[in-house]
Structure 1
Amino acid sequence: MPRIDSLAAPHQPPPAERRPRWRVMHDVYLRLLAVVHLVWSLWEWAAVIGLVPPVFGVEQRAILPRLGATYFFAALDPMAAVGLWFGSVWGTATWLVVTFARMIIHTGFAGLFGWTGPWTIVQAVSVVVYLALFFLAERADREARKTRRRRAPG
């Protein structure tokens, strides 16, 4: 039987420090984007299996590029949603690829896919908001690390 040498409490880990407000806002924004892309991907999969009309319409003109885009987004949107929910780097990268692909097909190939100016602007704003929150969260994390280093016993 082991012997107790001291009545002192065993080493306790330090109390969890509060996360910076900008980091929390960044994480909440990623979760909201994840929910949006998950719902969007469910709609695209419903279009793939024929439950709803495709997002791009049912015109017979240039049907193959439209189907290809629908399949592309149906495959990548759920992947982006899961990655964004977990806050992983690959999720953010997948989301950026999907978002820029949508903006490109609706502006660069507007004759083929149709131009959706307001929706393209919403997607561009979502990227700008993400970048702003990301940089503010990184700066807040850096400041929190500096504060911890100053308080840490030397």
Structure 2
Amino acid sequence: MITSFQDLIDSRPPWSTLLIWYLRGIAIILIGGGVIYWARIIGIVEWRGLWFWDMPVALQGAIVFFAVLDLVAATGLWLTVSWGTVMWIFRCFCQIVMHTAFSDLYGRRPYEIAFYLLTIAIYAGLAFLMDRENKANAG
């Protein structure tokens, strides 16, 4: 029975399990994003009042790029393979560069950038805690 905060901490799953849950949660978000991008491409939904075929070429290219990348990264994250994490972090940095260095084309989105940086920081923290736990159990 959990009667204190320390009991809650002691009864938590291993950090590796929490990291897997976290990566799969991010994968679900990416699947949703990928589906939305594909819905824009095939003409089910518009974006900021524009249909895909009416958008500038730079926006069309970004939408196609992220439509593919989101689903590839989501697959890798769900399977918890290393390339999935690499693809997801690459995707985050592409979005950050898009909305900072090329903000005149793609617009500024400070909340989205903060979200990407926060998710990467949480991943790094969970990976660090998992590594520390694995070293403690091994040695």
**Shorter-chain TM-score tier:** 0.7 to 0.9
Q: TM-score, normalised by structure 2?
A: 0.84
Match of 1:141 among 113, 134, 139: 134
Q: Between Structure 1 and Structure 2, how many residues are aligned?
A: 127
Q: Distance in 2 between matches of 1:78 and 1:84?
A: 10
Residue 83 (structure 1) aligned with residue 104 (structure 2): no
Structure-1 residue corresponding to 2:7: none
Structure with max Cα Rg: 1
Structure-1 residue corresponding to 2:8: none
Cα offset for 1:130? Answer: 0.6
The percentage of counterpart residues that share the same residue type is 31
Q: 1:74 to 1:57 in 2, by over 3 A?
A: farther
Q: Aligned runs of 1:66-105 on 2, under 5 Å?
A: 66-105=59-98
Tell me, yes or no, if the aligned pair for 1:83 and 1:89 is still in contact at 8 Å: yes
RMSD over aligned Cα, in angstroms?
A: 2.1
Structure 2, gaps ≥5 residues long:
1-12
Residue 30 (structure 1) aligned with residue 9 (structure 2): no
Q: Aligned runs of 1:3-152 on 2, under 5 Å?
A: 21-54=14-47, 58=50, 63-146=56-139
Structure 1, gaps ≥5 residues long:
1-19, 147-154
Q: Secondary structure at the match of 1:80?
A: helix
CA displacement, residues 94-146 of structure 1 (integer Å, 9 cap, x when unaligned) = 00111110111011111110101111101111111111111111111111122
Q: TM-score, normalised by structure 1?
A: 0.76
